[in-house]
A = this chain, B = another copy of it.
Amino acid sequence: MLATVLHSPGNIICEEVSEPKIEKPTDAIIKLSASCVCGSDLWPYRGLQPVNAPQHMGHEYCGVVVEVGSEVKTVGPGQFVVGSFVISDNTCPHCRYGFQSSCEHREFMTGAQAPFARIPLADGTLVATETMPSDDLIPSLLAASDVLGTGWYAADAARVKPGCTAVVVGDGAVGLMGVLSAKQLGAERIIAMSRHKARQELALEYGATDIVTERGDAGVAKVKELTGGVGADSVLECVGTQESMMQAINSARPGGSIGYVGVPHGVELDGQMLFFQQKNLLGGPAPVRRFLPHLIDLIMARKINPGKVFDLEVPFTDVAEGYRAMDERRAIKALLRV
C-alpha cells in the first residue's frame, strides 16, 4: 500500500510500504476513512525535531475494522471506530483515573497517514460508533481522534465552567477546537487570540465572543481590559512557545487555570514567578480516550461540527502539498483522501 514517509525535514513522500498485520492478539487492523496532517507533524517536517530515520507519519484516524487479534473483545470487523492518538489499555490505574495518555502501556500512534493501520491495544484505544456514520461526518470523527480531543482537554484542564470567561491562545486547529470545546462546556465569554481573518471567522462561528489580535504583553493588556482588569478564569494554551505560555499565564486571574496542550518547545518557567502568579497549571498529551464517547455522541447527533477545521482536502498522493500548505499557514488543517 502507499503511505507517507518523512525522510528528512521538508522531504515527505508517499511511497509503497508493506500492509500492516496483526502482530499481537490485542491488535486491530482498520481501513481508514480519511487521514490528515497534524500541527505536531510540522515539528519534524520543519527540522525542529530530529528525523534520525525515515518516519511513517500520521496519528489521527477513524475507519472500519477489518481484522482483530484473538484477545480483542469490544470491537470487531465491520464496525466503525475512532481511536485516540495515544494507545492505552484503559484499565491501568492511570487510565481509570482519566489520564489514558499516561497509560502504563502507552504508545504514541504512528503510521496513520495510510489506507490501513494497525491499532495496538484495540479494546482500550478504540471506540465504536453505534451506527455507520454518513460520509459527511467523517472529517468530524477524524478530528475527534486528536485535535478535537486535545482542544477539549485544554478546556477541561483549564476548568472551563458554565458562565466563565475563557481565553484561547493559538488559532491553529487545536486552538479552534478549544473555542468549540469552551463553548460546549458553557463558557459565557470566549476570547480568541488570532490575527488571521479566516481563523477569526471560524473562531467566531465556533463560539468566540471576542477576538484579540495583539500578542505578548499587548495581548495580555487587551484581555485585562476585556475582563475589567481581573483576567480570565480559564486559559487554553494551544501553541507551546515561551511567549504563548507566558501570554496564557499572564492572561489568567489569580486562582484561574491554564490548560496547556501545545507541546512546549524551549519553555522554561521560573518557580517564584509561578508561585506569585498563583494559577492552576495542567497540561500534557490529551487523554482523548476519556472524552471520545461524549465527543462521538455530539458529532453523531450533529451538535458540533469540528470537521469544518479541515479547510484543505488533497488526494493522499499529494501529501506533500498538505504539509506545505499547513507549514505556510495557507491551510488550518489538511485532510488526506485515502
Contacts and interface: CB of A to CB of B under 8 A. Distances in A.
Contacts of A270: 264, 267-269
B254 A97 contact: yes
Nearest to A266: B271
Contact of A283 (B97, B275, B284): B275
A104 B154 CA distance: 28
Size class of the A contact interface (CB-based, 8 Å): 35 or more
Contact of A275 (B93, B94, B97, B263): B263
Nearest first, the 9 closest Cβ-Cβ pairs linking A and B are A267-B271, A264-B271, A278-B284, A102-B254, A99-B255, A99-B254, A281-B281, A269-B269, A93-B230
B280 A284 contact: no
A325 to B, nearest CB: 27
B285 A102 contact: no
Given A268-B270, A269-B268, A271-B245, A93 B253 contact: yes
A272 interface: yes
Contact of A102 (B99, B265, B278): B278
A116 interface: no
A277 B264 CA distance: 12
B271 A268 contact: yes
A90 interface: no
